[in-house]
Structure 1
Amino acid sequence: MRLFILILVLSFLTQLFLPWWTIAPLCFGLAAGLGGSGGRAFGAGFMGIGLGWLLTAGWLNLRSAGLLSHRVAQLLPLGGNSWVLVLVTAVLGGLVGGVAALAGCWARQAVSPKLRAVS
């Protein structure tokens, strides 16, 4: 739970000033330092980034009345549905965060296997 909240808050603050891909090193580093098992690290990364991106994309979609997201959804095979684009955005961001957190957990376990967190 602590890893999830840290990823959610720090990724939101980081993305205010830095590019989107900074979520990967952030999740990697946090999971390497705090992550428990691989499954918990993946879940925290997926949910932290996914929820953050879902809320941000949903808010931006509502604020713009869905004009830009509708046009982007027309370019993709989403039938022009802007809310499906918001959901796809959240899932893709969640996958990036989850895989980065899983890699961080595995890297910690590879370097010092005795430091595996007790779950």
Structure 2
Amino acid sequence: MLFSLILLLTFISGYILPWWVACILAFGAALILGRESSQAFWSGFAGIALGWIALALLKSFPNDHLLAMRVAKTFHLPHWLILLAITAIIGGIVGGMSSLSGLMVKRIFEKKQAV
């Protein structure tokens, strides 16, 4: 459930909002639905990584990957798919950390209520 929500929110927000909004949405989703640390991290990682891959491919296919190839050439990468993989890894790490942070904040508030 957490993974699907993060993926959906990332994909929708990617069209109209800046890239960092997906991290805030992953934080909020884990704050509400998160249960355990590994689930929160990997849901955030995979949700944002796959969302960014889908968005990048949807924007890159119409121009035959022209811009992606030029950016890959700028970074001295042999192929644009490596650039896509690096983008997914960076987005995944940021998403996993923000989702894990949301779960940790949830745990802090749960402990304060129990005292």
Superposed, which structure 2 residues align to 1:1-119 within 5 Å? Answer: 2-79=1-78, 81-113=79-111
Count of aligned residue pairs for this structure pair = 113
CA–CA distance in 2 between the matches of 1:84 and 1:62? Answer: 16
CA–CA distance in 1 between the matches of 2:90 and 2:84? Answer: 10
Distance verdict in 2 for CA 1:15–1:61, change over 3 Å: closer
Deviation of 1:114 after TM superposition, in Å, equals 8.3
Deviation of 1:58 after TM superposition, in Å, equals 2.4
User: Would you identify which runs of 4 or more consecutive aligned residues in structure 1 move more than 6 Å?
Assistant: none
Structure 1 unmatched ranges of 5 or more: none
Cα RMSD, aligned residues only: 1.6
Structure 2 unmatched ranges of 5 or more: none
CA–CA distance in 2 between the matches of 1:83 and 1:89? Answer: 10
TM-score by length of 2: 0.90
Q: Would the aligned equivalents of 1:61 and 1:82 in 2 still touch at CA under 8 Å?
A: no
- Whichever residue aligns with residue 45 of structure 1, its letter is G
Partner-residue secondary structure (3-state), 1:59: helix
TM-score by length of 1: 0.87
